[in-house]
A and B are shown apart, each in its own frame.
Chain A
């Protein structure tokens, strides 16, 4: 999957499944502070990622993921490993 397609899919999942407002979506947004994604939402994101990208995230992998761009990078790296 192309990187642009991954990003577009992540954005759509955040809008549809986590119900984030579309106009809040921007790569610099802080997942917790700006998008309001809390620890329970992350639990749901694990399920959403598995259903849509076919791999399982682990809680310990969240430590470096602060912004939406970090989240894109993490998913892209898992979907398209170098």
Chain B
């Protein structure tokens, strides 16, 4: 009953000031909404362990992440098997690697597969389904005999492929299906939604010799594993580090590259985390930013309630004088927080759910072209998210309710009742006020600087000049079927195989260029704007003492006559022609930046360079035959991107896969149809997939980062609003509480100018402290992010000059206006201000 009276009183007080109440609830809702949203995001993507129907979580076991190329690296199964056997830390493990397989073809019994379809194929060891604890709904999973050398190629279909291409027909089990133009057999269909290990559409067996090699090899496989019950993650990694140390002493010379410079090789980490290694720091930064925003919201709400307490200080004093127990008073003040935070929490849930919905749409859009969204990247607000919301609401009630209540109770009520004035702001209260303003400055500085850095970097990357023309350009990936275009290294067929593979691309190129839709076609291993990563090269006669003091460049393989389609130009020397196609000839073309920086006398053509690495230099010298205009490979916002590029003729390599870019006229849809047709005309078994515009292709690697940038933008807008309103409210409250002091100073003859200067000076001191701390924290966090993304100087300039300037402006305005308002009072009114 008592509580009900207190609740009614609190509701009446809140309804009395609807604007204040609405504003406070909104701040709470935004702070909590962002918290629940980011928790749900990170929980789904990283923190919530993947269990897959078993008690222990799934781990990723692979080689150390390659930060130079931003790539996950597979490990040699020989070493993994050895480690597993020696260390005994895994209860079970298996291997996989991801690739593409074209299924069907002109001879297919299923009309949907007359044109071979590209599938995300997972080549795996036989235990994958038992590891996941999931059985096929039709047919069977893999058996050890499927992995034997010479066994018939078999395939297990995902539910979605079964539905989309086979009409959900259960009779397809044991039917034949062409796999990369070779006969194979369907042996099973997995349940709906099962795409483990990441985004598999079909599963095919690895060969036994691949997963159980008898010696070290160049094979790279990823492994999924579960640790034994008594082994934790740290202990497992320590054991693997010990194994690597041992291995380093015995490993053969030609496989020493497996062990990284820092001595690391095999790593074990939570499965979800491994999938976003390059983004992990950014997600953590996001979490920090959201936490800071929640703090900002807490401070703002506390301050609003505190200002309200100050307004009601006389009423509180009278209640105490009338004998209200302090506990009851605290409860009554807590009720207001309860009402505000509970309603805010409910709204927060709606905000979070909406944000999650938008993010899911964004992820679907991001992976629309390659269909490679990891299966756990579907966000929901789950039970844990709700728990976090409830916990955050409780904490917020305590912070925003108890703090003002305690402050109110610590007042000198006798003085308040006796003369009706508050007196000058007490030292402790003044210090609290200053600390709150500084906190607002620090928090808003960190959030805004980080948001600006990411947004600005994303913007500059999207506007970057990649050195190629992207308008009216279509791109696609081409893939040769291995059975038809074999790679028989170190045999008599090696050269001829290479020529055959190279020629099919030239045939396709010629077919494309003969069509009316297309002006020119280019083929390159990775087109400018994509691809990334560099390796060192040595200029003949100018080798550095240590390999990594040599210059480095990105290396691409290109078909002859590809420059025009991309808008690239030969600047010196010549392009590739028949002189570069002979066996044993290894010519290359460098880009303008390399020529300018390393051959400043313009004498690059004719010079020889060769690749060099930690384990020595290549035996093959490449002769520079030309210099081509600059392009940029990889997104400008990724640390692995390169402005130094070297190009090798495809005739020397005979790529199994390549990108094709065509410069088309007319309608894009017609161009897509013509591109597909031209490839099919040359060889229907050549796969073509990921057909998209060049602009889209360049944006693809940045999409996740740009999406995260948008979240940061939203956080930034919220932070600006919270910071501006918070700083203003905080400063205004502090200044208004010092009205009487201002009156005293004016009575002593202080000119208004001097008082204004005094407050601006104090604001300046708070700004100095706040900005120094804020900038230091922001720089530390941004450097934490910058091992993944390149933050350009313009962005740093904008963030580190623009944001502090904005905050300085906000603080000065927040000081100037309330001070001027108080100074507009007559000194006598200020002296008796209540």
Mutual binders A and B: no
- Interface on B for A, CB 8 Å cutoff? none
- Interface on A for B, CB 8 Å cutoff? none
